[in-house]
Amino acid sequence: MEFEKIALAVSLALNFVTLVLFIVQTRFLAAQTESLKKSIAYSSYQKLNDYINDVNLLLLDHKSAVEIFANLDSVKERIKNNKDLSVEKIALAWHLLNRYETAFTGHELGVIPDDEWEVWKKRMAKDIKNPFVLEVWKQDLTSWDYNKKFKQLIDSFM
């Protein structure tokens, strides 16, 4: 009888420990799943920006692409209204803005840590003050739907 009580107590204790470990493992897996979800979302967002940046890099490297791009009405209008702009400057500004918006999104998703993000912000604050980047940014605000918090951050640098 005494042995049965001890066996039952040990069995209950083992079941309790197993249940606690199961709960801990479930919480760990939930956190890991959430992290993976954010990482996949960020990777998808980065891939989209990579496609956009491929065009920007093409415009910086290939004269024929520049000639084609310069004939787009929106680009012609930009260059006509601002003689300091060129297709290459527009492409470089877009490249910079896309890079910073991607980093911003990564930070918002928790993929880019705060200390790394501070470095990005310092660089962004300097780059946005370049006249051609600032001009492209101001024009893009009427054409693109940037994240509201990203717009506020850029505005805080001016």
Given this model, what pLDDT does residue 128 score? 92
Q: Contact at 8 Å (CB) between 89 and 74?
A: no
Number of structural domains found in the chain? 1
The confidence score (pLDDT) of residue 58 equals 65
pLDDT at residue 126, rounded to an integer: 92
Q: Is residue 118 part of a domain?
A: yes
Residue 104 lies in a domain: yes
One digit per residue, the tens of pLDDT, for the chain of length 158 reads 687 777 777 777 777 777 777 677 777 767 777 777 777 767 766 766 666 667 666 666 777 777 877 887 888 888 888 888 888 888 888 888 888 988 898 888 888 889 989 999 999 999 999 999 998 898 877 677 778 899 899 989 88
The answer to the question of residue 16 being in a domain is no
- Per-residue confidence (pLDDT) for residue 52, from 0 to 100: 66
CB 60 within 8 A of CB 88: yes
75 assigned to some structural domain? yes
Q: What does the CA dihedral 55, 60, 62, 65 come to, rounded to 10 degrees?
A: 50
Residue 91 maps to a domain: yes
Q: Give me the count of residues in the chain.
A: 158
Question: What pLDDT is attached to residue 56?
Answer: 66
Has residue 30 been placed in a domain? no
Is residue 19, in this structure, part of any structural domain at all? no
Q: Which domain holds residue 122?
A: 38-156
pLDDT for position 3: 72
Examine residue 22 and state whether it is found in any structural domain, yes or no.
no
